[in-house]
Amino acid sequence: MILLTTLNARYIHAAFGLRYLQANMGELRDQCEIHEFDINQRPMEIVEQLVAHRPHIIGIGVYIWNVQESFELVSLLKRIAPEICIVLGGPEVSHESEGQPIVQLADYTITGEADLAFAEFCRQWLNGAPPPKKLIHATLPVLDKIVLPYDEYDDDDVAHRVVYVEASRGCPFTCEFCLSSLDVPVRQFELEPFLEALDDLLKRGVRQFKFVDRTFNLNLKTSAAILQFFLDRYEPGLFVHFEMVPDRLPDPLRELIVKFPPGALQFEVGIQTFNPVVAGLISRRQNYDRLADNLTFLRQQTGVHVHADLIFGLPGETLESFGDGFDRLVRIGPQEIQVGILKRLRGTPIVRHDAEWGMVYSDHPPYEILRTKLVDFESMQRIRRFARFWDLMGNSGNFPRTLMALWGSDGSPFREFLAFSDWIHSTLGRTHAIPLNTLAEVLRRYLNEVRGDSLATIDELLRADFDAAGRNDLPKWLRREGEKIGASRPLGGKLLPKRQAVRAAKSA
């Protein structure tokens, strides 16, 4: 018996890598099972479930979000059932491997893309001829030799989990903070078998597809074919997520994108920085004018939900220059702006800047930057809170009108929201477990007590935001005289992810 397991960040996430491994087990496929868990489950209980199957080999997917829990899992397994062969894989153990405690504890570690290498290892081990070295470097597989994993999604996955798909692997860019920059060149899966697999998933009832390709719109022919595929089969509830190169959106793709109804497409756009000096330091190439034109097109002429990424803490970036980029992005108007904190991922060349720019990272996952030569620790903490509160209030889509009152038509969204973020933290003393009505109340208080806006004006804006989101559970201070309050009205696009459903309700 061979078990494949990992600890997902949440139950809703299906482990894509494990399904690739299982699909490519060949003659060992019937001896292999996937057993997934999440990081909130107790390692002792996970071990109990795993050893109950009396496996000979357990393959464990190790990622930045689960490495600490995985170490405890492996430690327990080696104490309770030392006869089981433990094999690690995944990005967290594929780089700087030898010094990692979890790698030292496990029997074997396969680095790189193990789609085919894991099955070969199992054959050798089961035949009594295990590899002589604990560290196995997988040869980069030819994609047309890989069995596609989509049949490995079961009915429970289809009904309750995010279904991940990919048309390509690798990235043509060399951004120094990103592991994908190590995967050059970009390799494409054969298009027709891939589209056939997507069609099978649609027929089985899948309506939400998340593409993990780093540069979905790099290959025009492939991108156009996939968009046309979904356009031809569109029905309400379909939701497709892509990561796109922000400065590459030629007319043939634009012509297809405008045909999709609102809420059907989400584009994750990795901008990371608007500072050309910083972009040069980290080897990131992008045309900012073309980027801005593409995002403006998506927001003004399509129904695409745009999720844009910025990274704080890059070498050479200051609080002020980051704020300028944030303001520029707010003016373009994507539905979501994800403010990420720089992480020092294992194997990435971002470490070459450590001495010159005073880059100091946490030793513990997710290895976030703590301070730089230009940004002290206190400022870094302020931005961590800023990112959290922006996600709760800006990205949620619950307060678009009221938040605009913070900076008006010509103010700085970054400076004003940073001041608001500082005030929230000093008032509430926490960044999590804050109900929606509490967020509305602190926004109301800040605008009135700090900014001096009238309560009548603020309440009018908040009421409009609650109404647009279809909410009837208004706080008492926002209710009109004699108004009866019932349950929230259902959001438009109820089959969509929550935030996209909120946006759909407001545009309905």
DSSP string across 316-361: T--HHHHHHHHHHHHHH--SEEEEEEPB--TT-GGGGGHHHHT-EE
Place of tokens 């800023």: 386
Low-confidence ranges of the chain (pLDDT < 70): 181, 183-184, 482-508
Q: CA of 142: how far to CAs of 59, 114, 149, 189, 401, in Å? A: 22, 12, 15, 9, 51
Helices (H), 361-473: 377-390, 400-407, 413-428, 436-445, 455-468
**Nearest 10 degrees: Cα torsion 266, 267, 273, 278:** 150
The answer to whether the CB of 38 falls within 8 A of the CB of 65 is: no
Rounded Cα–Cα distance for residues 230 and 208 (Å): 11
3-state secondary structure of 136: strand
The length of the chain in residues reads: 508
Q: How far apart are CA 424 and CA 403, in angstroms?
A: 14
* Helix H or strand E segment including 121: helix 117-126
Q: What are phi and psi of 296, to 5 degrees?
A: -65, -40
Q: Which of 454, 446, 453, 475 is nearest to 463 (CA)?
A: 475
Closest CA to 438 of 472, 486, 389, 397: 389
Q: Helix, strand or coil for residue 224? A: helix
Residue 72, CA distances (Å) to 4, 42, 76, 106, 397 in order: 17, 10, 6, 11, 39
Separation between Cα atoms, residue 15 and residue 33, nearest integer Å: 13
Q: List own/partner pairs for 464-473 with CB under 8 A and 24 or more apart.
A: 464/401, 465/398, 465/399, 465/400, 465/401, 465/402, 466/440, 468/400, 468/401, 468/505, 468/506, 469/397, 469/398, 469/502, 469/505, 469/506, 470/505, 473/437
Of 290, 348, 342, nearest to 95 (Cα)?
Answer: 348
Burial of 129 (0-12, 13-18, 19+ CB in 10 A): exposed
Q: How far apart are CA 499 and CA 497, in angstroms?
A: 6
Decide: 63 and 366 in contact? Cβ < 8 Å: no
Q: Smallest Cα–Cα separation from 216: which of 192, 193, 243?
A: 243
Q: What is the pLDDT at residue 499?
A: 64
Classify the C-alpha dihedral 264-185-98-361 as positive or negative: negative
Q: Which pLDDT value is given to residue 173?
A: 84
CA–CA distance, 375 with 106 (Å, rounded to integer): 39
How far is residue 341's CA from residue 367's CA, in Å, rounded to a whole number? 10
Measured distance CA(95)–CA(332) in Å, rounded = 38
* 251: its two tokens: 């007319």
CA proximity to 18, closest of 149, 165, 200: 149
- In order of 287, 331, 386, 412, 417, the CA distances from 323 in angstroms are 19, 12, 11, 8, 10
For residue 66, give the nearest of 95, 89, 96 by alpha carbon.
89
By C-alpha distance, which of 451, 449, 372, 387 is closest to 416? 451
Query: Which residue ranges form the domains of the chain, and what is each CATH number?
Result: 2-141 (3.40.50.280), 162-375 (3.80.30.20), 452-507 (no CATH)
